[in-house]
Amino acid sequence: MLPLFGRRWDPKDLRARVGDLAQVAGATRVVLADGSEAGVEAIDIRTGAGLRFLVLPSRGLDIADAEFEGMPLAWRSHTGRVHPAFYDPRGTGWLRGFYGGLMVTCGYLTAGVPSVDEGQEWGQHGRASYIPAEDASVEQGWEEGIHRITVRGRMREAAVFGEFLVVRRTISTALGSRSIRIEDEIENAASQPTPLMLLYHVNLGFPLLDDGGEVLSPARTVRPRDAAAAPGVSAYMKVHGPVRGYAEQVFYHDIEPGPDGTAEVALVNRRLRGGLALSVRYDAKALPRLIQWKMLGEGTYVMGLEPANCLVEGRAAERARGTLQVLAPGETRRFWIELSVATGDELPALQSRIERSR
């Protein structure tokens, strides 16, 4: 039975009421057409349960806009959803096309601040979110009483005489669902070992992010990235309104995977329409780091919840610590995260689930 519009429906009864299921839910392919966004391919997905989101094949199959029952969930920056042709790999040039969005991939060869590693310069957060997908496809159909919506595609992080990583991404949801699952399979197709740095940059914004909001974390301890964040570590979970001149704070959450190897973190706002939350559940064995980006400034008002296999101090620092992950030739690793909306009476169970995993 499918939960839709305040009732539970038998698929047969639902099909009897619509000529095309797109009346209720589905995926529509579009191309953006204005300014620096012109030519960006997008897939507009609706689940029929109030969840709507925009996948960008032109930008590594990342997720830009997202909303629940008409309310935005994701922060959007003032850059717009910039075409990948405008990518600037130097220093912090990545920021010139960082549109925010529900989930932006950082990697695959570096993540975090710019650095120089073994004589080579690496810009901020790598080129993952600027790599267009190949063979991007949308699949919609019934399977054992569930109408599934699936997007697939492949990205290549490659250079002559250099790396050759093949990333196969699957994004899936379903009719009546309030969850999005992102699965990545990353293969080293080169004949030499290749570093792998991967961070899922989940960016939550107004109105979910506002006075009274709270971060729920499974962390046993939370530590600041640097001296600038140290004064705010005791209030890492608290949200207040925008502050002019606010300096970003970054925190590292030290967690242990639950019995099933997963972890979950959430942003909750109990004042918003009886309570609303966006949770990030993920494979904590493959992604052992959890990074929080707290940026409550005027105009740049965002909370980042970021599962990763690295910290955000750059590739050189990761190598110096001895924590730089490397893929052997022919090796494949798999990662997944799941983004879910919870409302009202579901919030106590979400909080209990996260607290039990501490």
Work out the pLDDT band at 142, boundaries 50, 70, 90: very high
Average pLDDT over residues 320-330: 98
From CA 135, how far away is CA 144, in angstroms rounded? 26
From CA 65, how far away is CA 30, in angstroms rounded? 14
Token digits for 307? 């599962």
Per residue in 256-315, pLDDT tens?
A: 898 999 999 999 999 998 999 999 999 999 999 999 999 999 999 999 999 999 999 999
Query: How many domains is the chain built from?
Result: 1
Does the structure show a pLDDT above 90 at 113? yes
Per residue in 59-79, pLDDT tens?
A: 999 999 999 999 999 999 999
Question: What CATH code is carried by the domain that includes residue 270?
Answer: 2.70.98.10
Work out the pLDDT band at 357, boundaries 50, 70, 90: confident
- Residues 6 or more apart whose Cβ sits within 8 Å of residue 264: 218, 279, 280, 281, 282, 350, 353, 354, 357
pLDDT confidence of residue 1? 78
User: What is the chain's alpha carbon radius of gyration, rounded to the nearest angstrom?
Assistant: 20
Average pLDDT over residues 151-155: 98
Residue 135 is part of which domain span? 2-356
pTM over 0.85: yes
